[in-house]
């Protein structure tokens, strides 16, 4: 409808220009918005105010001239001037009915478009270090990333969903060392576990599996293991130097082969759990991209060579630094440490360059604590000759879970956290997915577990799903009474849908495609969840005020067509959010 009204306005403006009433060569952007107040019509346009300056005329005079030369259209009942020069359009209510056959004909594809024209984009999300199970904080990024991917696909993007596996680096070494120490602890209970190690029960499980499979293969004398290792923090030492010393000792005691067995066992076990949890959550990926593969392919060396060739790297104190301050960063960043090892930053810039070279634009979904990391990665891409504007980072605040009014902890290192698996077992995947995307991703979120479990109108998901279930209940009742649904007949009787509740519901259905497009282009799934809540509200009001099965067969079929169109839009929206539409509740 916006495009249609824009076309009418454009024809009027061109007619004004031909008559010399408006300056030729001016091509103003026609912006049409839905009105918030029905008394102001259905749509409003500020084009007269935009033209006032170049035309050197009062905007109300311009608005009147545009209205006078506006082509007659059966969809528009009247046009009025409001305020300083807004043009308000009042649509013929019957013209809005055309949305109903469109919904029924297009079915699951209703609302989708090809605006992006197949443009390739990679959405990288979650990508939590495989050092422990996913917790409820990661769940928000998973729900958000999966839904953004669905929305982009719905408007014509070719979306590649990717999980970047950090299977190299210090945190993974801390995990492997933690597993080995737990393995040793089964023979020496006096071993003091490092304060900076991973303490979750999953580490004990991995260690027990290694003990069962390899018996004493990885045994070492614990007094030798801890000999000359820097003291830990609880006894007056430095926890970082302590764990780094233990990592080096583990590699020395075990040798490369056995250390890699423990490392890979820990990685495989945790990755298997992460994959399983995400699949249960309805989140799947096209690729699980290994950081280690960047090293194997020489991609990191290639990126570093490009940075050096660009003149944006220098050596200091044995390390190689990237001149990120030239691009607005607060300080320069280490790319190669003084021991010759590359940093996480080196891997990240190589990964992003590699993705761009594969032909994808990039959407990264990161935790909000990574906001300072964004400009330095973009700076490195720019320094290597890539376009940093092809990379977009969407930041997500971690959700804080509350149960019985108590805040629940989520620390992976300490092992005291609520896993995503436990959350799904508690409230189900549907509630978790929906609640995670109800608010802007960058806003702080308190996840009310008790509300998510409640079966009441206060629970927004229940309220939306119940609307779908109510339509299904009407159709079951129809069959029980020996009556049939005849959509072709109902479509012929749409002019009978003139009640206020029907007009409001039909107007809401007309907004779905626009809401979907806005949600996708602005990366804001909450817009779609808010729309579904409004659609459910309109439907429940209609349901509570009118009978759908009646002796007036023509009216009955028209109403059945309307509620089944509503059902289809509810299904389409919930599907994009990764949520089911139950037939009974």
In a domain, 132, yes or no: no
The residue from 233, 263, 280 where one domain ends is 280
The residue from 91, 114, 136 where one domain ends is 91
Res 69 pLDDT > 70 = yes
Res 411 pLDDT > 60 = no
Choose the weakest-confidence range: 113-122, 129-138, 349-358, 484-493: 129-138
- H helices of 19-135, in order, are 47-55, 59-68, 93-96, 99-106
In a domain, 186, yes or no: yes
Looking at the chain, the whole-number percentage of residues with pLDDT higher than 90 is: 81
The pLDDT of residue 409: 62
In a domain, 290, yes or no: no
In a domain, 355, yes or no: no
In a domain, 116, yes or no: no
pTM of this structure: 0.89
Indicate the Cα dihedral angle 294, 295, 301, 302, nearest 10°: -30
The pLDDT of residue 21: 81
Cα(2)–Cα(578) distance, integer angstroms: 29
In this structure, the answer to whether residues 482 and 572 fall within a common structural domain is yes
The residue from 91, 126, 156 where one domain ends is 91
CB-count exposure of residue 267 (10 Å: 0-12, 13-18, 19+): buried
Query: pLDDT (tens digit, 9 = 90+) per residue, 239-297?
Result: 999 999 999 999 999 999 999 999 999 999 999 999 999 999 999 999 999 999 999 99
In a domain, 9, yes or no: yes
In a domain, 568, yes or no: yes
Query: pLDDT (tens digit, 9 = 90+) per residue, 521-562?
Result: 999 999 999 999 999 999 999 999 999 999 999 999 999 999
* Nearest residue to 212 via CA among 232, 235, 186: 186
The pLDDT of residue 435: 96
Cα(208)–Cα(20) distance, integer angstroms: 86
Overall residue count recorded for the chain in this entry: 585
In a domain, 252, yes or no: yes
The pLDDT of residue 372: 87
The pLDDT of residue 357: 95
The domain spanning residue 39 has which CATH number? Answer: 3.30.1360.70
The pLDDT of residue 416: 59
Q: Which domain holds residue 547?
A: 460-576
In this structure, the answer to whether residues 71 and 178 fall within a common structural domain is no
Domain count, the chain: 3
Contact 254, 180 (CB under 8 A): yes
Token readout for 217 is 């293969």
In this structure, the answer to whether residues 78 and 179 fall within a common structural domain is no
N-term to C-term CA, the chain: 36
Mean pLDDT score, 147-157: 98
């Amino acid at each position: 409808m916006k495009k249609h009204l824009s076309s009418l306005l454009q024809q009027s403006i061109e007619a004004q220009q031909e008559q010399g009433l408006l300056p030729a060569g001016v091509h103003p952007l026609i912006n049409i918005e839905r009105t918030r107040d029905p008394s102001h019509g259905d749509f409003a346009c500020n084009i007269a105010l935009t033209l006032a300056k170049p035309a050197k005329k009062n905007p109300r005079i311009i608005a009147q001239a545009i209205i006078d030369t506006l082509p007659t259209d059966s969809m528009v009942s009247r046009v009025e001037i409001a305020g300083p020069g807004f043009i308000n359009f009042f649509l013929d209510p019957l013209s809005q009915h055309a949305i109903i056959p469109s919904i029924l004909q297009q079915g699951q594809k209703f609302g989708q478009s090809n605006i992006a024209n197949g443009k390739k984009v990679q959405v990288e999300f979650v990508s939590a270090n495989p050092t422990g199970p996913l917790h409820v904080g990661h769940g928000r990024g998973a729900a958000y990333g999966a839904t953004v991917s669905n929305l982009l696909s719905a408007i014509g993007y070719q979306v590649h969903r990717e999980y970047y596996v950090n299977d190299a680096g210090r945190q993974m070494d801390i995990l492997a060392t933690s597993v080995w120490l737990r393995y040793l602890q089964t023979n020496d209970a006096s071993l003091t576990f490092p304060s900076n190690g991973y303490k979750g029960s999953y580490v004990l499980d991995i260690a027990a599996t290694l003990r069962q499979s390899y018996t004493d293969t990885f045994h070492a004398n614990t007094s030798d293991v801890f000999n000359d290792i820097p003291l830990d923090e609880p006894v007056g030492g430095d926890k970082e130097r302590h764990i780094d010393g233990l990592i080096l000792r583990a590699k020395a005691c075990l040798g490369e082969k056995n250390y890699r067995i423990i490392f890979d066992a820990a990685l495989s076990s945790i990755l298997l759990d992460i994959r399983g949890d995400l699949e249960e959550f309805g989140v799947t990926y096209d690729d699980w991209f290994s950081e280690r593969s960047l090293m194997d392919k020489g991609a990191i060396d290639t990126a570093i060579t490009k940075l050096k060739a660009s003149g944006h790297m220098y050596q200091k104190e044995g390390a190689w630094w990237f001149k990120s301050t030239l691009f607005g960063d607060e300080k320069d960043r280490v790319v190669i440490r003084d021991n010759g090892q590359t940093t996480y930053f080196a891997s990240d810039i190589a990964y992003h360059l590699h993705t761009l070279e594969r032909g994808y634009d990039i959407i990264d979904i990161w935790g909000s604590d990574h906001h300072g990391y964004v400009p330095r990665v973009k700076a490195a891409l720019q320094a290597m000759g890539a376009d940093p504007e092809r990379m977009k980072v969407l930041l997500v605040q971690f959700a804080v879970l509350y149960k019985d009014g108590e805040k629940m902890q989520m620390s992976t290192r300490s092992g005291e956290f609520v896993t995503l698996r436990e959350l799904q077992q508690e409230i189900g995947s549907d509630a978790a997915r929906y609640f995670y995307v109800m608010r802007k991703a960058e806003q702080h979120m308190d996840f009310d577990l008790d509300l998510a479990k409640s079966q009441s109108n206060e629970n927004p998901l229940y309220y939306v799903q119940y609307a779908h279930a109510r339509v299904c209940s009407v159709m079951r009742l129809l069959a029980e009474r020996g009556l049939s649904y005849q959509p072709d007949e109902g479509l012929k009787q749409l002019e009978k849908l003139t009640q206020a509740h029907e007009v409001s519901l039909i107007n809401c259905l007309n907004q779905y495609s626009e809401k979907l497009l806005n949600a996708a282009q602005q990366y804001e799934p909450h817009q779609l969840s808010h729309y579904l809540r409004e659609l459910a509200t309109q439907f429940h009001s209609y349901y509570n005020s009118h009978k759908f099965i009646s002796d007036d067969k023509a009216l009955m079929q028209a109403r059945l067509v309307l509620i089944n169109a509503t059902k289809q839009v509810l299904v389409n929206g919930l599907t994009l959010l990764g949520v089911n539409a139950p037939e009974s509740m």
